[in-house]
Amino acid sequence: MDYDHLARVIRKLAIQAGDRIMQIYNSDDFEVKTKSDDSPVTEADEAADELISAGLRSEFPDIMLVTEEQADSHDTSGDTFLIVDPLDGTKEFINRRGDFTVNIALVENGTPTRGVVYAPARDRMFLTLADGTAVEEAGPFDADKIGATTPLRVADSDNDALMVVASKSHRDQATDDYIAKYAVKDMKSAGSSLKFCLVAAGEADLYPRVGRTMEWDTAAGHAVLAGAGGKVVRFDDHTPLTYGKDGYANPFFIAFAPGVQLKGV
């Protein structure tokens, strides 16, 4: 794998998809449909998926591609593939709250190794470079040329005063009960895969997810967090979260800076 080429391609596609998403986001109205699992999908999801899928298939025809919006792509299995959520945080998009992202990642041997998370309404871009390290790029974003970057590094966590980030749209009592096991200094709320990126940037120490997610929701953020020195483990036994699972469904998980002393279930 030419990781330098991969990094350039997925970054460019994320920016182009983000531009298309924002055109729809800023329009007077857009269509919202309901998928078979009762989750919402918009024309922005579909337009971004079409753009990204075409670009990845053109540049990497020999690598399996899994995307949220193409159910037929889920019939094959393997532990090395490209995986895409063209618009993570559709509810945030529909409610015009801004915390939605474009996510593209490479999974190798069951582990996300490279990825990009682009939040076009927030002007934030998190990505892994060719060497696997994670950075945040400062806008404005030029699809053909990377701008100034800041290396990402997880926090040196103080277990007596942790910063916790949790979901805006999927917060529940089980999440609150788990968070209560820790000495929490403050809480942040964020949508989509931005929660991984806040941990990667040292802006939070811990992100527990006690709820349903799919691999395309998490792979890019997972790659960015890993590139910043963070970890993602299963909620039940604290073993590493792996990818290429049957149906691409995730168990509950915890994303964290390694200095955090994890509590049991």
Express each pLDDT in 199-222 by its tens digit. Answer: 999 999 999 999 889 999 999 999
Q: Would you give the distance in Å from CA 75 to the centre of its chain?
A: 22
Q: Would you state the pLDDT for residue 263?
A: 94
85 is in an annotated binding site: yes
Q: Is the pLDDT of residue 59 over 90?
A: yes
Residue 75 marked as a ligand binder: no
Determine whether the annotation assigns residue 236 to a binding site.
Answer: no
Outline which parts of the chain fall under CATH 3.40.190.80: 162-256
Q: How many helices (H) and strands (E) does the chain have?
A: 6, 16
Q: Is 49 labelled a binding residue?
A: no
Q: Is the pTM of this model over 0.85?
A: yes
Using 50, 70 and 90 to split pLDDT, how confident is the model at 168?
Answer: low
Integer Cα distance of 120 and 20 in angstroms: 10
- What is the arithmetic mean of pLDDT over 118-133? 96
Would the annotation count 56 as a binding residue? Answer: no
pLDDT for residue 167:
78
Contact 102, 14 (CB under 8 A): yes
Q: Nearest 5°: CA angle at 25, between 28 and 52?
A: 140
Instruction: Look up the CATH architecture of domain 162-256.
Output: 3-Layer(aba) Sandwich (3.40)
Burial 109-136 (b: 16+ CB within 10 A, else e): eebbbbbbbbbbbbebbbbbbeeebbbb
Stretch (H or E) spanning 254 = strand 253-256
According to CATH, the topology of domain 3-151 is Fructose-1,6-Bisphosphatase; Chain A, domain 1 (3.30.540)
Span(s) in the chain for CATH 3.30.540.10: 3-151
Q: How far apart are CA 154 and CA 52, in angstroms?
A: 29
Q: Is 19 annotated as a binding residue?
A: no
- Beta strand 65-67 with 81-88 is parallel
